[in-house]
Amino acid sequence: MLPVSQAEKIILSLVQPLSEIETVDLTLATGRILARSISSQVDFPHWDNSAMDGYAVKFSDVRSSTPKHPITLEVVEEIPAGYQPQREIQSGEAARIFTGAIVPAGADTIVMQEHTQRVQKTFVKIQITPTAKSFIRQRGEYAKVGDPLLAAGTVLNPAEIAILAATGCSEVKVYRRPRVAILSTGDELVTPDRALKPGQIVDSNQYALAAFVQQAGGIPICLGIIPDDRSKLTAAMSEAIDSADLVLSTGGVSVGDYDYVEEILAELGGDIRVRAVAIKPGKPLTVAKFKRDTRSIVYFGLPGNPVSALVSCWRFVQPAMAKLAGLPKSNWQPTWIEAMTSQNLTADGKRETYLWGKLELVEGRYQFSLAGGNHSSANLINLAGTNALVMIPVDVSSIEAGTSIRVLII
């Protein structure tokens, strides 16, 4: 059995990032990965503009103004947002201005309206000593033409979408999303719409893995349930390899009489690099690489037990998908944080063990609470509502409550 860290390194070495690029409408780009770096086409802000409602003035006119001795200025223009000022401010003048509006030529300071008093219709009293250049957002203060804004490999979330829109992008180049074929193996499996007969179980893995792939930014290709028939399984696995960038199959990777996956992978020309990993749950993990013309495909033969399949995805498949999708190297690894366990934790110490539960911020510190019930790899029920896995290292059989632990966020 391979140690977890070694298996992870091998898996990542098998993955080649996708190079195909698509152009998508900005409204459809959320969650996609930027394929080309973006530089600013304009200055941000585009012009000097006011950060407050108030009055645009010359600082030299109001530098001696105080509440007891206010300076009175003539209001010569009103400038709302979106309006081009029509005149230059001269000494003794002010312009009524609103947030976001262009600062007129000649003005170098904004006085908030709360510190002013309008006199008649055409004059205003400045009742404080303002700071020079206060409340003016300078042109190019945030970014200048040519400044880098977004690097290739950036995930386009709401803030990044806003930046692209602000710089004039209505379309954006992104990496193609990974296609992931999913198949479940086993005579005992049925779809959720079928009535169960003795010995049968519902194939939850197909749906869980499809949701995992979508959440990871991929496109699931669900190939359904394949019975324990060698010829049918060979045909289905071949179809999966030919149609996808990455394949996830569940079941058939242990040492039973009907566990054919590893043999078929070899027959189909796969380079099998992982056969078992010292992890619990998820020990029977098979990983192979295929070459099809210019394409590289990574095949994951996952355990059939539902918790084992998902833990394998969170620990091994997710980093592979991150690299495949075009994320930078710094984003390939799972997200780990230090937390405190609220309960005693136990393991057999023979394999790196993962227990599932809930991570919460309690009085400024992350706290991990173990999910209730049996932590069996077949017990899908108590996995609901969890958001983290605690890792218990090899050779550690118990961890006391209150101890600092390493937690993987899922």
pLDDT in tens, 19-49: 999 999 999 999 999 999 999 999 999 999 9
Strand 179-185, strand 219-226: pairing? parallel
pLDDT at 294: 87
CATH number of the domain that residue 307 is part of: 3.40.980.10
Predicted confidence (pLDDT) per residue in 209-255, tens digit:
999 999 999 999 999 999 989 999 999 999 999 999 999 999 877 65
**What's the pLDDT band for 256 if we cut at 50, 70, 90?**
low
Give yes or no: residues 260 and 317 share one domain. yes
Do both 224 and 366 map to the same domain? no
Across the range 77-81, mean pLDDT stands at 97
320 and 394 housed in the same domain: no
Which of 137, 162, 191 is a domain's end point? 137
Q: What CATH number is associated with residue 108?
A: 2.170.190.11
Instruction: Specify whether 206 is located in the same domain as 303.
Output: yes
Q: Compute the mean pLDDT over every residue in the chain, rounded to the nearest whole number.
A: 95
CATH of the domain at 366: 2.40.340.10
Going by C-alpha positions, the residue among 277, 293, 294 that lies closest to residue 285 is 277
163 and 38 assigned to the same domain: yes
Last residue of a domain, one of 310, 329, 348: 329
- Counting the structural domains of the chain, the total is 4
Same-domain status, 15 and 27: no
Type of residue at 246 = L
Same domain for 265 and 195: yes
pLDDT for the residue 51: 98
Last residue of a domain, one of 137, 167, 188: 137
Residue 208 shares a structural domain with residue 319: yes
Give the count of alpha carbons within 13 A of 331, CB side only.
15
From CA 227, how far away is CA 223, in angstroms rounded?
12
Letter string b/e over residues 172-198, b meaning 16 or more CB atoms within 10 A of that residue's CB: bbbbbbbbbbbbbbbebbbeeeeeeee
Q: Specify whether 164 is located in the same domain as 221.
A: no
Collapsing DSSP to helix, strand or coil, 292 comes out as: strand
Task: Find the mean pLDDT for residues 147-154.
Answer: 97
Q: Do 259 and 163 share a structural domain?
A: no
pLDDT band at 410 (very low <50, low <70, confident <90, very high): very high
What is residue 257's predicted lDDT score, i.e. its pLDDT? Answer: 56
Does residue 62 sit in the same domain as residue 79? yes
Q: What is the pLDDT of residues 313-364, one digit of tens each?
A: 999 999 999 999 999 999 999 999 999 999 999 999 999 999 999 999 999 9
CA distance 58 to 107: 5
The pLDDT tens digits of the residues spanning 117-133 come to 999 889 999 999 999 99
- Report whether pLDDT(258) > 60: no
Greater model confidence, 378 or 148: 148
- Provide the residue range defining the domain that includes 119: 49-137
pLDDT exceeds 80 at position 259:
no
Q: What percent of the chain has pLDDT over 90?
A: 93
Q: What single string gives the DSSP state of each residue in 347-376? A: --SSSEEEEEEEEEEETTEEEEEEPSS---
Residue 278 has a pLDDT of 97
CATH label of the domain that carries residue 152? 3.90.105.10
pLDDT, tens only, 281-307: 999 999 999 998 889 999 999 999 999
This model's pTM is above 0.85:
yes
Average confidence (pLDDT) over 366-379: 93
Q: Do 27 and 78 fall into the same domain?
A: no
pLDDT number for residue 254: 65
